Structure 1
Amino acid sequence: MFATVPPATVSQIMRHDFDPMDLVKLNPRRCWDAFEKGGALRDYPSLHSLLVPLCLYFSVLQAACAASGHAEATRIVGEAGLRYTAHLVELEEAFQWSAVVQYHMQFHNKRRQDMAIGDFSQWAFGDRELMNRLLVGRQRGRRGGRQLSLISSAASAKSCPKRF
């Protein structure tokens, strides 16, 4: 089903053992590159370099849920994955990219722990503690005539339901 993804990698994703720094290995443009164990922050120079493999990661995860017969988990992975990718797009517009990548790696590691106990829903909700620690003070300047802030992102997150 995922011709460019080695079976061992699919298994790691399904077991929630896949290291988020290794997302670069899922980038179809880099499938022939040789990688050392664990990627590096330099492997993610742009939003595109993170989102393309992350979307493939969510596809593998969703297919694994579907294959196991868990319809609700399949739905949650799809919806939460879309919300999280939208969250990353907003963060990229508001904050320095290097800080956003660090946020993602730590956020993804937390989600691995949640998924190991069957909770996929937390992908849909930003992590305020991580945002405060890694993003505050790393705002971009004006871009496109619009200033985004952590406060506006946090305010919109308050209106989201706590669970699906």
Structure 2
Amino acid sequence: MTHAIDLFCVMRKETIEKLAERLGVTSCQLESWKAGIEEIPTRHFDNLKTIFRIPDEKEYLIERTNVTVLDQAEISLICYKDYIESLQQERVKNSQGASALSRAFRQCETAISSIEKQIRILKQKEKMESIFDERMFRLACLNEEEFRKREIIVDRLIDKLDDTLSL
């Protein structure tokens, strides 16, 4: 089980100990927040948002105790967008090494585009799973013959979807 704070630390190349020091708490205190033993106090929650540069609409990620693939993508996107912003600031300050900065900038833009697509796909997948789960439970109540007819239709839809999405 991965906590979002751990993932933010990995993406930011920061240790839990260093993060605890920046927050003015012990590592044990930070671990108790991650374990859900104690709630993150509001001021520390706000400091985490600031340290990790988390937009308000994504602040829910801070308290994720079991990060999903979608959460990982959202966290990666936040970190890449922050990194690209720092590259832009560096580009303005330092004209030397501009080609290396431009290369890093392009790589980040490509990563961001890819992550944004991944997020859209994962959201579509969640929606499809929700619809599928709901409908399949209803189908289980049908008699065997009706169930078999619907099962064949679902199999065909899955095959068609697979064909459509194949590259």
Q: TM-score, normalised by structure 1?
A: 0.33
Say which one has the larger Rg: 2
Q: TM-score, normalised by structure 2?
A: 0.32
